[in-house]
């Protein structure tokens, strides 16, 4: 991009919110914080410290692997699912108030990796617009993040093999086994190597799969796609996420969808999904 674009007073309108209608609900940080508390309460049993370095870790982290791995944000995933890229830059702006430059960059990396995980499920154009918004916020702060990719390179690991292993783990408790079989047969590279391999595995440590799958469930639920929402909520449950965590994600996605004037419709029973998931996992052991 040229410096003229960088300096544009209307960067937000041209790049970040170009596809957002003028009558869309305006960002409300106080309301978002109330929903973050709900998410953090659902994650409180997972060993997440209460005095973490930034608000984004303190309130939004849902899954912890004994303090290891990367903490990702459900809120970003939900905003992407709602097709509201403008909310992500506003969210970043508010969360970074009073933080050190180091913490601001950590928040940026958390958000970036969350978006890296969910874009195949909710659409790249919306996520690209959110990327522009984050870039603009960093530019205003005078921050230049390191030019690094927080995952092994495409040629450094067998992503087809890893994707196949992850896909089987992700969908082991799902009712949608026939749909998964079709993907394995006809789109193995797309569904395995790229999505469940490079993107989901590469988002953090190898044991972060429950965390990334919960982000996928959050984004798809917010998008209103009911069948896939059920599938990925089941997948998160099958990977070890608690009913409370998954229920919190669904509740927050529904609340934000109503706030965004794009209601999701009827709810589905997470307790019933959990029972179905456990039965499916047990059945497929044999």
Q: List the chain domain ranges.
A: 8-141, 159-283
Q: What angle do CA 61, 64, 65 make, to 5 degrees?
A: 160
**Average pLDDT rounded to a whole number, residues 209-233:** 92
At residue 80, the pLDDT reads: 94
CB of 125 within 8 A of CB of 83? no
CB atoms within 10 A of CB 14: 12
Give the pLDDT mean for 22-45: 79
What tokens were used for 125? 């154009």
Selection from 129, 194, 135, 130 nearest residue 166 by Cα: 194
**CATH fold group of domain 159-283:** AhpD-like (1.20.1290)
| Between 40 and 227, residue with greater pLDDT | 227
Residue 79 has pLDDT above 90, yes or no: yes
Mean confidence (pLDDT) of the chain: 81
Q: Sorting pLDDT into bands at 50, 70 and 90, what band is 219? A: very high
Nearest to 111 by CA among 51, 65, 152, 70: 70
Q: Provide the pLDDT for residue 255.
A: 92
Give the model's confidence band at 181: pLDDT under 50 very low, under 70 low, under 90 confident, else very high.
Answer: confident
> H or E segment at 77?
helix 74-81
More confident of the two residues 72 and 67: 72
Instruction: Give long-range contacts, CB 8 A cutoff, 24+ apart: 276-280.
Output: 276/173, 276/175, 276/234, 277/173, 277/174, 277/234, 277/237, 277/238, 278/173, 280/172, 280/173, 280/174, 280/175, 280/177, 280/234, 280/238
The Cβ of residue 213 has, within 10 Å, a number of other Cβ atoms equal to 28
CB 150 within 8 A of CB 109: yes
Residue listed under structure tokens 């601001």: 104
Per-residue pLDDT reduced to its tens digit, 121-180: 999 998 999 999 999 999 999 998 877 777 788 888 898 888 888 888 999 888 887 877
Mean pLDDT value across residues 29-46: 72
Mean pLDDT lowest among 102-111, 200-209, 226-235, 272-281: 200-209
What local confidence, expressed as pLDDT, does residue 286 receive? 61
Query: For position 27, what pLDDT does the model report?
Result: 93
Q: Give the span between the Cα atoms of 129 and 152, in whole angstroms.
A: 25
**Global pTM value:** 0.85
């Amino acid at each position: 991009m040229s410096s003229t674009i960088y300096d544009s007073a209307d960067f937000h309108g041209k790049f970040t919110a170009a596809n957002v209608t003028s009558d869309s609900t305006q960002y409300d940080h106080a309301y978002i914080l109330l929903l973050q508390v709900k998410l953090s309460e659902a994650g409180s049993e997972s060993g997440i410290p209460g005095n973490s370095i930034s608000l984004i870790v303190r309130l939004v982290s849902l899954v912890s692997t004994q303090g290891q791995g990367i903490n990702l944000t459900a809120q970003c995933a939900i905003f992407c699912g709602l097709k509201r890229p403008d909310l992500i830059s506003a969210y970043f702006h508010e969360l970074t108030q009073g933080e050190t430059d180091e913490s601001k960059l950590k928040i940026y990396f958390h958000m970036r990796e969350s978006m890296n995980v969910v874009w195949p499920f909710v659409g790249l154009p919306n996520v690209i617009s959110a990327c522009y918004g984050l870039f603009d916020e960093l530019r205003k702060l005078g921050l230049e993040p390191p030019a690094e990719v927080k995952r092994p390179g495409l040629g450094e690991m067998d992503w087809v093999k890893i994707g196949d292993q992850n896909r089987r783990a992700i969908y082991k408790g799902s009712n949608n086994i026939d749909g998964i079989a079709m993907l394995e047969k006809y789109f193995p590279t797309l569904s395995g190597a790229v999505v469940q391999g490079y993107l989901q595995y590469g988002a953090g440590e190898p044991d972060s799969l429950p965390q990334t799958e919960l982000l996928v469930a959050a984004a798809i639920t917010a998008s209103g796609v009911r069948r896939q929402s059920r599938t990925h909520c089941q997948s998160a449950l099958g990977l070890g996420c608690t009913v409370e965590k998954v229920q919190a994600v669904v509740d927050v996605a529904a609340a934000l969808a109503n706030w965004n004037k794009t209601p999701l419709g009827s709810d589905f029973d997470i307790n019933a999904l959990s029972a179905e998931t456990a039965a499916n996992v047990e059945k497929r052991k044999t």
